[in-house]
Chain A
Amino acid sequence: MAEHHTAAFVRTEILPEQAPPVSEAGIIRWMRENLFSGPLNTVLTFVGLFIIYFVLKEYSPWLRHSVWNAGSVGECRDIVTAKYGEGATGACWAIIRDRWNMFMFGFYPRELYWRPTLALGLLIFAAAPVLFSESRLIRMWVLGVVSVFLMVAFPGLDVPNGDTALLAVVLVGMLALAWMRPWSLLWLTAVYPGLAVWMLWGGSAWGPTLAMAGFVIGWLAWLATRSFGTILSVGAAVLAPVLWWLFGMAPVQALLDASLPAAIEGVRSEKFGGFVLAVTIGVAGIVLSLPMGVVLALARRSDMFLIKGLAVGFIEFIRGVPLISLLFVASLLLNYFLPPGTNFDIILRVIIMVTMFAAAYIAEVVRGGLAALPRGQYEAADSLGLDYWKAQRLIILPQALKISIPGIVSTFIGLFKDTTLVVFVGLLDPLKGITDSVRASFEWKGAYWEPYIFVGCIFFIFNFSMSRYSMYLERRLQRDHE
């Protein structure tokens, strides 16, 4: 105890906490660590700052002097000159405002704009039980925004108030379903393809209905022949709908059209344009190419020599040629390959080509996923006594597809970007087809940057949200604990 008293000074109370040195705290520390941690980093930071400064200096006046209301490029220039003096430049967004409908709908008849709009809205509702099944919060947010969008858009599209009210009732009903029993919306998902085709192209309701009925017929054929073994029932399930589409559908449709006409105003494919066209081709391609790609991937890994050979040949051929040459095949050569006199829709031809193109890439992505699965999974499935299809459906594909999600989604993004190439077979895509035809008018001659920036931004929003969604999906499906 005595030592205590011999010490000259002993601090008995703890010192009050002091703030860290200025250079080691807050923003300054952050800057020292992240911007100026060494000579090279300092130089890089200054280069980066210079680039930002340069871009802002060059382009921010142009953006700040934007004109939103004008009738022509000349008028835009006059407004900018009047406001900001001689020599000032300004963006002329009035072109987007003036030709908004053109960018969105192409030459689709004006009084029918509500149909593609509604089709797009219903697409989200149909996709919701598949895409956002896990989280009610996200689902309700997305669907709520879509509903509000539809309710705002409809009066603007000259839809009578009574119809808008009807739509409001339907939307509220579907929102309630999405809140309580999201899986019941799968009915909408099932009928959506036929519904969308009918709404976009119009014409007789029986065409899409009977085409969709083909799937029901296939299912019935499968049920009826199930007792004869898998292979016969699968064969019947494929053959019956094909026969129906080729031979049975046309007479039945003629009969029904004559006795129970149910047609709305038809819209020809040449009228399609702008984002309606891009989204139609993109969504159809995405929906069709995924199953086709999976089947191709399975075929490529098959033990059967011929099946494998055909799959490899198809995939390598499609991947080896540019999409544009396939589009030329669709527009120029299909007339040679099909029986004389057949002349089917150009958008459908393009969708088929785009689908085949994307499917070949997806097949390669999925093949990578299948190859990445440990062999033990295959062996475990075999040892459980599962047959090939059960093993694929219950064990292999769920895991392989999960691994393949990033690759599949980037293929989808590529597909959506590639829809712009349809301009080269004479369709009015939003990027070049519509922009060129807008710029061909007298008023908007010489407006170069604004349409490109606008269309680019929309593509960016679509694709960026797709890539973010794939990240969300990966997180959601993650089952290992890291």
Chain B
Amino acid sequence: MAIATEPPKQGFRLSQLLYDTRYRSMTIQVVVMMMFMAFAAWLVDNTITNLAARGKDFNFGFLSVRSGYDIGQRLIAYDSDSTHARAMLVGLLNTLLVSFLGCLLAVAVGVTVGILRLSKNWLVARLMTIYVEVFRNVPVLLWILIFLAVLTEAAPLPNAFKEGGSASMLLFDSIAVTNRYTAVPDPLFSRSLGNIDIGIFLISSDLMALIAVVVAGWYARRLVLRRATAVQNATGERPVTWWKSVALLTLPAVLTLWALGFHLGYPSLQGFNFTGGINVSNAFMALWLALSLYTGAFIAEIVRAGVMAISNGQTEAAYALGLRPGRTMNLVILPQALRVIIPPLISQFLNLTKNSSLAIATGYLDLRGTLGGITLNQTGRELESVLLMMLIYLVLSLMISGVMNIYNASVKLKER
């Protein structure tokens, strides 16, 4: 006869906190939490002591004080009478500008190089390999310095562009690369809609109208394509859509530009300098080109890996189903390759945005140059400036990775 032995009933013992797996993780967490709080309190206490010892306080009042310095390149109205906060905003917009344009060029370069590297052409594939390896294995700071040196040392003076001078402009006399700036055409609207004042800065209504029209055209194209698919599903015949889709993508923009009286203001040499176009500083050009080509090399590898990750069988299966090469690419290869490509691609965008803080090497006044540079030095508010700068970069990064997470969730393989 089996005797059921009751387990000995005991109260809670202190040693269970360490040896009983039910409580142990709680103990560890409490200890870690206490250590973390103590560490944080120690840092804050030190900071308060140190601030007091230097006769400083911790406040952001300096942001509303007159800045007193000029910023060469700015997207919004600013002069030396503006506040430090506005200087910070100008810097932030400059950071965003170089990051955005950098991402565009880097993707263009990266996709081209990545596909060419997969080419069966031996020579081209080797050349692209050299480009990728050289750019990836050398610090980006070197590329920034080299591009800056090329532009400031090897480019001609604006003077050299006069009649009979030694230099000539590029692209049908529209772009002039000089040793101080690059003069590019200025987009102008003769029947402009004016600007919208949203309180902090002005937004060009022309640009807004253009974006709205292009987006509307794109949606219209999607509707047309969806209808074509519906017709195909119903009748088996797919209506011809290519001319509709081309027209919907291009015509609205062209018509809007025409309605607004779009024309280019070409730069021309007046005295010692170019006027009539936009003079983009070499600091910006060097940073932009260097960041784009450097990041482009990484993107090329990502694109190559993404395309190679899709097995050949997928293409063959699509052909076996009777899809033509274009539709095979659109419907079979790209959706799968993009799932592999997009996440690392966005993390490259993140890297490019963070690397844009290397503007410090060229003198381009981005967020680091204004808030973390001149403002910091003028006001002597290291703690506030650097913390605020890190916070802004952090928010930017979190926004970009938030977009990535949304995308990842939307393309994730649905497992059941």
Contact = CB atoms under 8 A, between A and B. Distances in A.
Contacts of A448: 149, 153
A15 interface: no
A320 B394 contact: yes
A320 B43 CA distance: 21
Nearest to A465: B137
Interface in A75-91: none
B51 interface: yes
Given A431-B145, A459-B137, A324 B360 contact: yes
Interface in A421-435: 421, 423-424, 431-432
B43 A337 contact: yes
Given A304-B29, A321-B354, A35 B122 contact: yes
A135 to B, nearest CB: 24
B140 interface: yes
A442 B354 CA distance: 36
Given A41-B120, A322-B355, A460 B360 contact: no
A49 interface: yes
Interface string B168-185: 000000000000000000
B142 A41 contact: no
Contacts of A432: 141, 145, 361
A229 B18 contact: yes
B140 A417 contact: yes
Interface stretch (B73-81, B245-253, B269-277, B385-393): B385-393
Interface in B90-141: 116, 119-124, 127, 133-134, 136-141
A452 B145 contact: yes
B394 A340 contact: no
Nearest to B134: A460
A45 B53 contact: no
Nearest to B298: A410
Contact of A229 (B19, B120, B394): B19
B372 A459 contact: no
Contacts of B136: 413, 463
The B interface is mostly helix, strand or loop, or mixed, namely helix
B50 interface: yes
B221 interface: no
B379 interface: no
Given A336-B47, A339-B46, A448-B153, A322 B393 contact: yes
Interface in B373-397: 382-383, 386-387, 389-390, 393-394, 396-397
B357 interface: yes
Contacts of A231: 18, 24, 28
A455 interface: yes
A452 B389 CA distance: 31
Nearest to B398: A320
A468 B287 CA distance: 29
A229 B24 CA distance: 12
Interface residues of B, number: 58
B201 interface: no
A456 B138 contact: yes
Contacts of A49: 123
A457 to B, nearest CB: 9
Interface string A164-185: 0000000000000000000000
A322 B383 CA distance: 17
Interface residues of A, number: 59
Contact of B137 (A41, A305, A460): A460
A338 B46 CA distance: 6
Contacts of B210: none
B368 interface: yes
A421 B47 CA distance: 26
Contact of A420 (B25, B127, B142, B372): B142
Contacts of A316: 398
Given A306-B29, A322-B355, A464-B137, A317 B394 contact: yes
A161 B19 CA distance: 63
B146 interface: yes
Nearest to B137: A463
A56 interface: no
B162 to A, nearest CB: 23
B127 A48 contact: yes
Contacts of B19: 229
A271 interface: no
Given A44-B121, A459-B139, A337 B28 contact: no
Nearest to B44: A337
Interface in B41-99: 43, 46-47, 49-51, 53
A337 B47 contact: yes
Given A34-B120, A45-B121, A335-B50, A320 B139 contact: no
A455 B139 CA distance: 10
Contact of A467 (B137, B139, B350): B137
A333 interface: yes
Contacts of A473: none
Interface string A1-42: 000000000000000000000000000000001110100010
B25 A44 contact: no
Given A48-B127, A325-B393, A449-B149, A307 B386 contact: no
Contact of A324 (B124, B145, B368, B382): B368
Interface string B258-271: 00000000000000
B142 A455 contact: yes
A130 interface: no
Nearest to B48: A336
Interface string A189-214: 00000000000000000000000000
A45 B138 CA distance: 27
Contact of A337 (B46, B121, B146): B46
Contacts of B350: 319
B342 interface: no
Nearest to B36: A310
B192 to A, nearest CB: 38
B303 to A, nearest CB: 16
A336 B398 CA distance: 27
Interface string A308-346: 001000001101111111001100110111111000000
Max chain A Cβ within 10 angstroms of own Cβ: one of B121, B122, B386: B121
A336 B42 CA distance: 11
A257 interface: no
A307 B28 contact: yes
Nearest to A364: B347
Interface in A393-447: 413, 417-418, 420-421, 423-424, 431-432
Given A338-B46, A417-B140, A448-B153, 9 more contacts: A45-B124, A49-B123, A231-B24, A305-B29, A306-B29, A316-B398, A325-B372, A336-B47, A463-B137
9 smallest CB-CB distances across A and B, nearest first, come from: A320-B397, A34-B122, A463-B137, A417-B139, A322-B354, A320-B394, A322-B357, A306-B29, A48-B123
18 contacts: A35-B121, A37-B121, A45-B123, A231-B28, A305-B29, A316-B398, A321-B390, A336-B51, A337-B43, A337-B47, A339-B46, A417-B137, A420-B139, A432-B145, A456-B142, A459-B137, A459-B138, A459-B142
